[in-house]
Structures are given as C-alpha cells and as structure tokens.
Amino acid sequence: MPVRPHPGLEIDGFTLGEKLHTGGFATIWEATHAKYRTPMVMKVPTIMDGYDGPTIVGFEIEQMIMPRLTGPHVPRVMGIGDFEVMPYIVTERIEGESFLKVFQKAPLPLSDVLEIAARMVDAVADLHRQHVIHLDLKPENFLQRPTGEMVIVDYGLSRHDQLPDLLAEEFTIPMGTYPYIAPEQYLRCRDDPRSDLFALGAMLYALATGKNPWGTPETLRGVRKRLWRDPVPPRAIRPEIPEWLQEIIMRALVVDPMRRTQTAAQMAFDLTHPQQVKLTARAHKLKQDSLLTVFDRWRVMRKIRQFKAPDSVASQLASVPIIAVAVDLSPEGEKLSSVLRSAVKRMLLIEPDARIACVNVIKTARIGIDQGTDDQGNNIHVMRLVQLKHWAEEIELPDDRLTFTILEGSDPGQAILDYATANHVDHIMMGARGHSTTRRYLGSVSAHVVAEAHCSVTVIRLPERREDRAPAEAEGASKAAE
C-alpha cells in the first residue's frame, strides 16, 4: 500500500514536519535528517488513485535532472525516493517566497527591473551551461538566496539534452505556463534553449509594464495567436522605459528563434552594457503592427509546423560565444598586441558569430594611477578606451558585436577573471610577454588566468629567437646558484 506524506512520517532517515505548500502537482514539507544540519524540504508528487501520467513522468524527470545540477542557482539535492514506497525529492530549503508577489507589484522601478532581470538571466545561463532547458520559467519558479543569487526550481517539464526526454516520448500536447510559453513550444519543440529566453523576455516585459505581453490565455488557442500577433510595445505602456531596454525585451519575444536573442549569456551582456545594445526599429516602436501586417504574418505562420532547433544546448551556446580579449596597451607590448589582433581575426573565421569583448586593465596600485590622471592631467580611463578602440579598428565587426571595457584593479589577472565570470565569457584571448626571471619565479598574469579561468584560454606569444632567450636563461641559472 503506498505511503502518504504526513507530519511525523519517517522515511529513509528523513522526518517530515509541517506542510509548507500545496501545488497543483506536488506538496512541499519541512524535513529533517540526523545526517544534515541544513534546513531541508521534501517535495512529494500529488498522485491520485487514477491515472496521473504527466505528474508521474514529470517527477521522474526531476529525479533524473536535479542530482546532476550544481552551483548556487539550483537547490542542492539530499535524497530521492522511488515510487515503490513514496516518491520524493529532498533538497536544501531556500528561505523566502517565490518572486510571484514581486511580479504582482509590477510595474517596478526600472532600477529594480534591471537588477532582478540580470539575476534571473544569470541563473538561466548557468542552467543552460549544464545542458538543461527549463521550459517552464515563470515568477513562481524563481527564489532568491540571502546572498542574492536566483535559484530556479520545478524541473518537471525540463529537458536535459544528455538524457531521454520522457515527456516527448509519452505525450504530444504542448506543456508549459501559457503567458510565458514560446511559439516553438506550442509547436511541440522541447529542444531549444531559446524557449527559455522567450519566457525571460515575457517576464521582463511584465516587470517593466505590469502586464503580460499576450495577457493570460487559458487555452492553447490563445497561445497560438503569438505566432502572428506582436505585443504592445513596452514604451507605449510606460514611456520612461529606455529604447535599449525595449530592444532587449522585444528581441527576446521574436517568434522565430533564429531571430531571437541566441543565448542567456548574450542577454546578460546586453543588460549590463546598455550603451552597446544595437537599436533596431523594435526599439522605437510605439504601436502594434497594422492589421494588414498581422494578416500577412498569419498567412505564413498558420502553415508553420516547426522551427529549426539546435542539435543540443551545448552546440547552441558554442555557436554564439562571447570572447574576451585582454589587450596590453603599453608601448613595450605593441608588437604583441598586433599579433593578438591577428589571432582574433583568425578566431573569427572559426567563430563567425562570436561577440568580441575587448578589455584592458588599469593597475590601480601603481604610483600616479590611483588618482585617475597622468602627469599631464589626462584622464587615464578615457585615454585607454580611445587606445583600445584604435587597436580594434581592423577587427571588422558591427558595433553590437564589438565592445570595449576598461577594468581597474590591483591584480590584473583577477580583474580579467572577474570580468569573464560576470559576463559569461566562453573564451579568453590574451598576450604573454617573453620569458624573464621575475615571471618565472613570481608568476605572470597569463599564468594566473590560465590556472583559474572557468572557460578556455588562448595565450599568444611573440616568436623568440634562441639568442634572445640565452641572457634570461643565464640570469636564471645565476639566481638559482645564489
């Protein structure tokens, strides 16, 4: 006879406390275990005596996916129970409520909109890097740690591209939360990470305007309309919304995934670099498309059966990487920076859709740098920015794919690493000067970056002649002898 959850129930060492939440498909309970001091919750699916196929399969998916996930943006799993006795998942307890109440207060101040959006997008980018498409992103599925990171919960509709898709195998109806479901999900595609970006765009629209872009449809017929009907532009509802923010929102809500924002990392980059967002006609719209335009779109879209999905989450992320290029602008680094520029141009032949983020570091510990001006009174930050743009002139990319940032810090290597982490960089390219005794014994910026970077690193060196290396080797041997 199946076991039902109730306060005081002991199962596999876990003891249930009070019920915290009752949802449509599961209940959430306090849980304790002698082995763990961390506050925990147990999620138990609501399985009736009849047939509950989607609930059972969805819970199986959660049990498959969640133990594979790591990091601050997902709950840590402590235990899993099978269906023979009582199915459950025990995870750490994330204090606080979901973001539903925050969304119910929308429209929010724009500063709050941008802060919340940036943290939500960071969480989704981390999820995608772990091969998971959530496919049911909504305010209720975002929690927040005391340290500020967003935590994504509820993986019952999710897709891990290295695991069998049980939902696709057993059911043919589209699944998701209707205000946020992407057009390709309506067309039964579960393989596209850009579906999550559509949901993010819909939530960002709601935070900024207080309205859902397509209202709150209750049927699939209502969802279908978004294949041809564009939403009211956000600035028509709230004029103070900046054009660059409307561009980000409306680009995420494009029907065809190929014309949408391509990765969560790119959306995060745009949100944190608004001055470098490329504005299109979307940014200036104040009215919906005309009925004639909508009719023409309907004639095309009513025949659409599917959009092309990427081969995998990993392949989609790899197709549009963010490449950070750390450039040495000192006079002694001129030859090396020229070789680095050539290497970047060769990289673009391999990664033609990459975004190049050029960075330079002002080392603030140096005398004369901390005050921000040189001996002639010139602003060092501005001078470096001009030099960096001049260095990149031969890299022929549109403005929205070529960005420039001057960093400051006492440790250049750490400054580059922090930038790469904050901006979801996929690849770092940088130069390394020739060998020297100091670098050999104290380490170098490039060695620091290579050792600690979370992504791939390419280090470029100038070719060295044997006679150039001989004095350094002799000096090193002398120091060692001392």
Whether the predicted pLDDT of 194 surpasses 60? yes
Instruction: Tell me the average pLDDT across 130-143.
Output: 96
Q: How confident is the model at residue 369 (pLDDT cuts 50, 70, 90)?
A: very low
The reported pLDDT for the residue numbered 375 is 63
Least confidently predicted of 134-143, 256-265, 390-399: 390-399
Read off the pLDDT of residues 289-335 as tens digits, 9 standing for 90 and up: 999 999 999 999 988 888 888 888 888 888 889 999 999 988 888 88
Topology adopted by domain 10-92: Phosphorylase Kinase; domain 1 (3.30.200)
Whether the predicted pLDDT of 13 surpasses 90? yes
The reported pLDDT for the residue numbered 430 is 92
Ranges of CATH 1.10.510.10 domains, the chain: 100-316
Q: How confident is the model at residue 434 (pLDDT cuts 50, 70, 90)?
A: low
The reported pLDDT for the residue numbered 399 is 78
Whether 69 contacts 93, CB under 8 Å: no
Instruction: Tell me the average pLDDT across 399-408.
Output: 86
Whether the predicted pLDDT of 74 surpasses 90? yes
Least confidently predicted of 247-261, 282-296, 343-357, 390-404: 390-404
Options 3.30.70.520, 3.90.226.10, 3.30.70.100, 1.10.510.10; CATH for 100-316 is 1.10.510.10
The reported pLDDT for the residue numbered 175 is 84
Q: How confident is the model at residue 48 (pLDDT cuts 50, 70, 90)?
A: low
The reported pLDDT for the residue numbered 285 is 95
124 CB-near residues (< 8 Å, 6+ apart)? 134, 137, 152, 196, 197, 200, 264
The larger pLDDT score, comparing residue 12 to residue 170, is at 12
The percentage of the chain sitting over the pLDDT mark of 70, rounded to a whole number, equals 90
The reported pLDDT for the residue numbered 367 is 42
Q: What is the average pLDDT score of the chain?
A: 87
Ranges of CATH 3.40.50.620 domains, the chain: 321-481
Pairing of strands 150-152, 142-144: antiparallel
Instruction: Tell me the average pLDDT across 231-256.
Output: 97
Q: What does pTM read for this prediction?
A: 0.84
Q: What is the CA radius of gyration of the chain?
A: 26
How far is 323 from 336, CA to CA, in rounded Å? 18
The reported pLDDT for the residue numbered 477 is 41
* Token code pair at residue 438: 């100091």
380 CB-near residues (< 8 Å, 6+ apart)? 362, 369, 372, 373, 374
The reported pLDDT for the residue numbered 373 is 65
Question: Class assignment of domain 321-481?
Answer: alpha beta
Ranges of CATH 3.30.200.20 domains, the chain: 10-92
